[in-house]
Each structure stands twice: as C-alpha cells, then as structure tokens.
C-alpha cells in the first residue's frame, strides 16, 4: 500500500533517534577510545529492544506514525543508563537513581526534539522512557501514551530475558549482575512480595533464583500476544522454570505463569 507523504515523513523518527543515541554514547568513550563493556551491553540492548519492538508492532499490524513512535521510544528507552553508570558506577537503581526518570531528564535536555515529526511525539516518547522500568504502569495513564509505553516494556523484557539467559548459560551472570549470589535460594522478602502482590521487584532480589523468579513474574506484566509468542518460541518460560528451586509458595506460582502464557500466546 502506498504511503502518504505525511506518513512517510513520520517514518524516520526512530532513525533520527538511533543516530542521536549513537552520537550521545560516543561521549562516554574513555581516552583510549573504548566504551566500558557494560555500556556496550546497553548500547546493543537499545538496538535489540528496537528490533523486538518492530516484531511486536508488525505482529499487531501497527503502521505509520504509531509504529515509528514505538520504535523511537524503544531506541531511547535506556538513554539514562549511560549517565547513571558513569555517575554511580552501577545499574542498580536502588543504590543510585531511577534510570527511567534520569533518561527522561537526559532526553529533555539533550535530544533534538525539533527534528521529530508529530505533535505528540515528544510527550509520548518521554512518558514511555520514564515508565519503562516502573514496577507497574500508573492506573490513570492517558490512552494517548498507553500503547507505546506498553510495547516498550514488552520489547525491553524480551531482550533482558535473552541477555540473562545467555549470561547464565555462559556461567558469567555476575558480569551482568555483579551483586547476585549465584548459588543461593529465595529471599524471604521476595517470596512474601510474590504471595501478596503477584509480582516481585528487584529491591528484594539477592540470588539468581530470586532474579529468575522476578523475571518469570513478568509474564503477568506482558501486554501483547506477539510478546508471549516470541518468548514462548525461545522456550524462555520453561528454561527459567527448569532452573528454579522447588518451594511450597513458589511452585503454584510457576504453574499459574504457565497457565497464563498458554492463555495469552
Ligand atoms: Fe531500562
């Protein structure tokens, strides 16, 4: 189908954003010209999240401005990670700063908003960036912002699932998550949180088992059928379940995740 000129104009907001992010990241290279390996991970993550977003958007039949806006927000979602890391030496928000909020501030100050097409682009992208890492989306979020905020959260989670799995399989998860106790069981606080709220948060994560359990609970926070299909296609949920220690409070939760995935995929 032929695109209108107006629609075609909108199609490259995400290209402009990727170009800006690439240049922004250049400023974080050391005197030797190298980017810290963990910042390189975030650079690649940003592109993978954009690619995941494109797959989900295509699965949903999103086209034109909405698709482009979603990809724009996906590319920029972790803009706060770079300043967070050089300022605090960690990606752990609990010990530093909320990186979604920081990303919003970085973009407000440094992004060339005048280059983006579309009246609502700035507000929608900033909202999606600020909200991408929050435990839940706010109940009263405007329907104008909701789809892009939701697709960025799904796209981000898919790459984090893959990233963590790869690092666990290569026995180097501590490169990615330095504070994690690889051998330990579940923390009591996390199990309580899961029982009370149905979702665990990073705040209570101590061990790899905790982290994988929090990741599994993300199944209840995925928004779109294509996201479930992508993750199910990877065998993600079974892979995690196969690594979780058995626990009387956790086992029924794992079963409920599988029922949910089956219903949603
Ligand atoms: Fe993030």
Residue 209 CA, ligand 1 centroid: distance in Å: 21
Q: Where would I find the H helices in 11-145? A: 13-26, 37-60, 64-76, 80-88, 99-110, 121-131
Q: Provide CB contacts within 8 A for 158, sequence distance 6+.
A: 49, 52, 227, 230, 231
Task: Give the pLDDT confidence score for residue 191 in this predicted structure.
Answer: 94
Residue 132 CA, ligand 1 centroid: distance in Å: 6
Q: Provide CB contacts within 8 A for 134, sequence distance 6+.
A: 100
Q: What is the pLDDT of residues 71-100, one digit of tens each?
A: 999 999 999 999 999 999 999 898 999 999
Termini Cα distance of the chain: 29
Checking if the pLDDT of 206 tops 90, the result is: yes
Q: Average pLDDT of 131-148?
A: 95
Cα(26)–Cα(218) distance, integer angstroms:
33
pLDDT band at 1; cut points 50, 70, 90: very low
Residue 81 CA, ligand 1 centroid: distance in Å: 7
Per cent of the chain over pLDDT 90 is 85
Residue 50 CA, ligand 1 centroid: distance in Å: 13
Q: What is the pLDDT of residues 112-126, one digit of tens each?
A: 999 998 889 999 999
Residue 76 CA, ligand 1 centroid: distance in Å: 10
Mean pLDDT computed over every residue of the chain: 93
H helix or E strand, kind and range, residue 232 = helix 225-234
Q: What is the pLDDT of residues 36-66, one digit of tens each?
A: 999 999 999 999 999 999 999 999 999 999 9
pLDDT band at 195; cut points 50, 70, 90: confident
Task: Give the pLDDT confidence score for residue 118 in this predicted structure.
Answer: 86
Tell me which residues have their CB within 5 A of the ion that is ligand 1.
78, 133
Residue 103 CA, ligand 1 centroid: distance in Å: 9
Q: Average pLDDT of 128-138?
A: 95
Residue 9 CA, ligand 1 centroid: distance in Å: 28
Report the greatest alpha carbon distance in the chain: 59
Checking if the pLDDT of 106 tops 50, the result is: yes
Task: Give the pLDDT confidence score for residue 201 in this predicted structure.
Answer: 84
Task: Give the pLDDT confidence score for residue 73 in this predicted structure.
Answer: 98
120 vs 147, which has greater pLDDT? Answer: 147
Residue 7 CA, ligand 1 centroid: distance in Å: 29
Q: What is the pLDDT of residues 165-189, one digit of tens each?
A: 999 999 999 988 888 899 889 999 9
Checking if the pLDDT of 4 tops 60, the result is: no
Q: Where are the domains of the chain?
A: 5-152, 180-264
Cα(36)–Cα(28) distance, integer angstroms:
8
Q: Provide CB contacts within 8 A for 136, sequence distance 6+.
A: 199, 221
Task: Give the pLDDT confidence score for residue 265 in this predicted structure.
Answer: 84
Give the CATH architecture of domain 5-152.
Orthogonal Bundle (1.10)
Residue 93 CA, ligand 1 centroid: distance in Å: 10
- Of 169, 155, 163, 153, the C-alpha closest to 242 is 169
């Amino acid at each position: 189908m032929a695109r209108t000129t107006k629609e075609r104009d909108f199609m490259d907001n995400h290209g402009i954003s990727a170009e800006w992010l690439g240049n922004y990241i250049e400023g974080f290279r050391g005197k030797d010209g190298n980017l810290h390996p963990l910042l390189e991970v975030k650079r690649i993550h940003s592109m993978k999240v954009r690619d995941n977003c494109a797959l989900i958007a295509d699965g949903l039949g999103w086209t034109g401005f909405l698709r482009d806006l979603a990809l724009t927000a996906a590319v920029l979602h972790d803009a706060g990670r770079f300043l967070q890391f050089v300022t605090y030496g960690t990606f752990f928000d609990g010990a530093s700063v909320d990186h979604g909020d920081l990303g919003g501030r970085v973009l407000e100050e440094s992004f060339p908003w005048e280059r983006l097409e579309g009246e609502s682009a700035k507000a929608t992208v900033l909202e999606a960036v600020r909200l991408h890492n929050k435990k839940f989306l706010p109940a009263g979020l405007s329907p104008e912002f909701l789809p892009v905020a939701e697709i960025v959260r799904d796209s981000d989670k898919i790459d984090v699932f893959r990233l963590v799995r790869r690092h666990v399989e290569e026995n180097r998860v501590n490169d990615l998550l330095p504070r994690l106790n690889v051998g330990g069981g579940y923390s009591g606080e996390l199990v309580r949180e899961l029982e009370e709220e149905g979702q665990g948060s990073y705040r209570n994560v101590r061990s790899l088992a905790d982290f994988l359990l929090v990741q599994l609970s993300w199944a209840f926070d995925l928004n779109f059928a294509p996201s479930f299909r992508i993750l199910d296609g990877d065998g993600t949920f079974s892979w995690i379940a196969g690594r979780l220690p058995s626990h009387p409070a956790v086992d029924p939760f794992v079963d409920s995740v599988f029922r949910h995935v089956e219903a949603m995929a």
